[in-house]
Amino acid sequence: MKALESAIHKIHLTNILLDIYKDDVLSPVLGFKGGTAALFFYHLPRFSVDLNFDLITPYQKDSLQI
């Protein structure tokens, strides 16, 4: 991936993360993990093309709409 494409991709991933963080339903139940999380939080050279999440708390089926 070229440097400019990589920078634009990182901006899009950041915007998606911000949207999830601001969401009152998704934010408390999703844990961000993986290579991109390692890059964003620890500045490790693990940038990837996707975002990985774990479901960290049980949810009620009727309360989660995607």
How would you write the pLDDT of the chain (66 residues) with one tens digit per residue? 687 788 898 899 999 999 999 999 899 999 999 988 998 888 888 777 889 999 998 766 666 566
Q: How far, in Å, CA of 46 to CA of 27, rounded?
A: 23
Q: How far, in Å, CA of 2 to CA of 64, rounded?
A: 37
Contact 47, 6 (CB under 8 A): yes
**Whole-structure pTM value:** 0.74
